[in-house]
Structure 1
Amino acid sequence: MSEAADALVLDLVEWIAREPRPYAQVIATWRTSCPRLTIWEDAVDLGYVTRGHDAMVVVTEQGRKLLRAHGRPG
């Protein structure tokens, strides 16, 4: 991933950490037409977020570690 993509993944994880989000909202908000910016897919593949109960997207413990490592709330 590029630095820009890393920063965007971090932003996505922080946004979801504020409160669980419906999957549809996450996809609508973080959708991109650029095949090089796969922010949602990267966050899932890296284990930072997951779809939980009732299709709500939540931050995993790995995602919380990422936030703490970067001094972000979560």
Structure 2
Amino acid sequence: MSTPQPADPLVLDFVEWIARQPRLYSEVIATWRTSCPRLTIWEDASDAGYVMREAVAGVGMILAVTDAGEQLLRDNGRIA
């Protein structure tokens, strides 16, 4: 039986930031942009199913935390 890998602290920070309130896609890109190809924080969170994109009429594209993202935060002591 394998031991679960600890969550990436930056992914946790990212998911926690989005959990505070859904964020506009443009805000996410502006805030979490990086030129380092090794820092794929928001792509990693999205690929793992912790965040989702949703088009909202009159607002634009937003990112919000999924149930899996909320569970990740709970499992890592970020929310009760």
| Structure 2 stretches lacking a partner, 5+ long | 1-5
* Higher Rg of the two aligned structures: 2
CA displacement at 1:10 relative to structure 2: 0.4
| Structure 1 stretches lacking a partner, 5+ long | none
Aligned equivalents of 2:66 and 2:78: distance in 1? 15
Per the alignment, residue 48 of structure 2 pairs with: 46
Aligned equivalents of 2:20 and 2:67: distance in 1? 14
In the alignment, which of 22, 25, 43 is matched to residue 23 of structure 1?
Answer: 25
- Divergent runs of 4+, >6 A: none
Which moved further from structure 2: 28-37 or 50-59? 50-59
1:6 aligns with 2:12: no
Per the alignment, residue 65 of structure 2 pairs with: 59
- Amino-acid identity (%): 65
Aligned residues: 71
| Aligned-partner SS, 1:71 | coil
**Corresponding letter in the other structure for 1:66:** L
Aligned equivalents of 1:20 and 1:47: distance in 2? 15
Greater per-residue helix proportion: 1
Per the alignment, residue 34 of structure 1 pairs with: 36
CA displacement at 1:37 relative to structure 2: 0.5
Greater per-residue strand proportion: 2
Provide, for residues 31-52 of structure 1, a one-character-per-residue CA deviation record: whole Å limited to 9, x for no partner: 1100000001001000000112
